[in-house]
Chain A
Amino acid sequence: MEESQQDVVTKAERMAGTEPLIRQPAVAAGTGNVIFDVRDMAVYYGAFKAVTDVTMPIYENEITAFIGSSGSGKSTVLRAFNRMNDLIPGARVEGEMYYRGATLYGKDVSPIAVRRRIGMVFQKPNPFPKSIYDNVAYGPRINGERNKKKLDEIVERSLRAAALWDEVKNRLKMSGLALSGGQAQRLCIARTIAVEPDVVLMDEPASALDPISTGAIEDLMRELKSRYTIVIVTHNMQQATRVSDRTAFFYVLTDSKSDTRTGVLVEYGPTKQIFEDPRDPRTQAYVTGRMG
């Protein structure tokens, strides 16, 4: 039965008004190794519930995209994977998060050890005020690597993997701050993979870049996929369709009684399915551009 676009929107709006709107997200399971196993996760900042009802598996060597309008919690969930929320006073994670079967938020789990394995690239490129070489070498150095030859190897390897080596190989002593936006972001990616993580999280990695650099970053993501698991947050739906294997859609629930906005995971599945045949009307409204 063909529902008109208007019906879809009305249905979505009606659902938005229904309270309490806590439904189980529609999650399509995949095959393959599960890297992250998230069950009933919620994140609070003090008393404010930022995102809730997140249950999803993230699979190895895939690119998973988080999409949704602003405030829907996608960055918050992303930052929960490498415990960057810990840096915000009052932040609290409830529910269960497993990384390769081990709990991420256990009592004797060190966030530092977590972050060595789960790296992060930020929206605005943030090269350190150091030389390009020292930027990439920073991570290995704090992990104890002192051997100059080994460091040289690591720096070259990482810069190659980030498709930046040819452009900077003769200028390694130059300050990282002197690079253009796209190059700086690739430097940050090189820096992140220099510590040989397992997972690379990317929070809107190309949104501050011009279209050509964006394309370069997307190519890079596809190359890195074979060695790392990648999770990206993006507000650009075309980007999600271009690069990701699986997509999760987040939505903002407004509780009119207490006037709070909380994010929820609504649907999660193979990218093709999310964009061409979404199960949930809210997903459909978003991906067809009617909402958000």
Chain B
Amino acid sequence: MSVETRADSAIPAESAHPLKHSRPLGDRLFAALALAAGLLVLVILVLIAVSTSQQASSWFSAEGLKIFSDNWNPGANDYGVLAFIYGTAITAVIAVVIAVPVSIGIALLLTEVVPRRRSAPIVYVVDLLAVVPSVVWGLWGILVFAPWVQHIYNSIASGVNGIWVLGFLFGGQNISGASFFTAGLILAFMITPIVTSLSREVIATTPSIDKQGAYALGATRWEMIRGVVWPHSQGGVVGAILLGVGRAMGETIAAALVIGSSPTITSHLFAPGYDMPAGIANLFGESSGIFRASLMGMGVLLFVITIVINVLARGVVERSARRSRGA
């Protein structure tokens, strides 16, 4: 028994059973397309993992576990990338230490302090911060900021040399405007918008009735925030911070321009360094053979790390959202 396939109509042909109709071809096609588009995400992720690993395989087999050594000397066929991993971690830490208090402060400002009507300019500034492309941050960073800040670094370094923790972090002889710290600082500017907007979303879900309960006990605004808003939001904010970390680790171009392009492992933050994405960006063009495979390998490591962090972050955010809804 055939059903008239008027592909764009759901009204069954007269000859079919009046209450039953098979889905017209057009509908099934559409549903299949939608499913395919959804699956595309998973397919791409798998392909990325497979193709980059395959390209990096010659490096894995050549170096074995030495890929994690800090001996990076392409001229002598040594491709240990620990320095790059170190740089990725350090700049992300610097970025988060600077950006998190600032972002949470702005998020609290927007949700608790400033009345809704007057909050537009603040939101605008945060959005503008997000719209500046990474390469423009890098251009400004290397041509304007780094030369200017070098003097400041020099003064600080000469001041703290020898003073215990401060000297450890900010001292040293090798001071450069393009350094771990500059890269971390610029990364902080770049991740602030996303951490702010996610934190704000979470904080805004604090039930008003809870806040009123605190105020009714005679709490000041800060006491209310600490007692009610913070316990409610902390899970989500942690998730937002993790997302910021992931973003900072993967940010390539700004770091490539201002990190100093010198693969070293040092505690001195004002020294030039390198991180994984910057290494790939700067060195790929002239690489070949195992050198290129090692850069691909850094890409694989970066991919794995950022996937793990993002899965963790999204998991944390979802779990805290579920808990606050359920409770």
Direct contact of A and B (CB under 8 A): yes
**Chain A residues within CB distance 8 Å of chain B:** 82, 84, 87, 89, 112-116, 119-120, 122, 124, 126, 128-130, 138-139, 142-143, 177, 188, 191-192, 195
Determine whether B214 belongs to the interface, using a CB cutoff of 8 Å to chain A.
yes
Known: A84-B212, A119-B216, A128-B214. 14 other contacts (CB 8 A): A82-B216, A89-B115, A115-B217, A122-B213, A126-B209, A128-B231, A129-B232, A129-B327, A139-B217, A139-B218, A142-B217, A142-B223, A192-B216, A195-B218
- Residues from chain A with a CB closer than 8 A to the CB of B217 are 115-116, 119, 138-139, 142, 191-192, 195
The CA-CA distance from A122 to B210 in the complex, in Å, is: 10
Most buried by A among B212, B216, B217: B216
- The answer to whether A87 and B219 touch across the interface, beta carbons within 8 angstroms, is no
Interface residues on B, range: 10 to 19
Q: A124-B209, A126-B209, A128-B210 are in contact. Are A87 and B218 (CB under 8 A)?
A: no
Q: Which residues of A contact B140 (CB under 8 A)?
A: none
Residues of A within 8 A of B216 (CB): 82, 84, 115, 119-120, 122, 192
* Chain B nearest Cβ from A241, distance in angstroms: 27
Chain B stretch 200-254: residues in CB contact (< 8 A) with chain A: 207, 209-210, 212-220, 223, 227-228, 231-232
CB contacts (< 8 Å) of B213 on chain A: these are: 122, 126, 128, 188, 191
* Residues of chain B within 8 A of A192, CB atoms compared: 216-217
Chain B neighbourhood of A195, CB < 8 A: 217-218
Q: Which residues of B contact A139 (CB under 8 A)?
A: 217-218
Which of B209, B215, B231 counts the most chain A CB atoms within 10 A? B215
A122 to B217: give the CA distance in the assembly, Å: 12
Among B207, B209, B223, B231, point to the contact of A130 (Cβ < 8 A): B231
Expressed in whole angstroms, the minimum distance between the Cβ of A113 and any Cβ of chain B is: 7
Q: How far is the CA of A179 from the CA of B327 in the complex (A)?
A: 11
Complex contact B212–A122 (CB within 8 A): yes
Q: In the complex, A113 Cα to B219 Cα: how many Å?
A: 9
Cβ contact within 8 Å between B207 and A115: no
Contact between chains at B227 and A128 (CB < 8 Å): yes
Complex CA–CA separation, A129 to B226 (angstroms): 12
A113, A122, A126, A128: the one within 8 Å of B218 (CB): A113
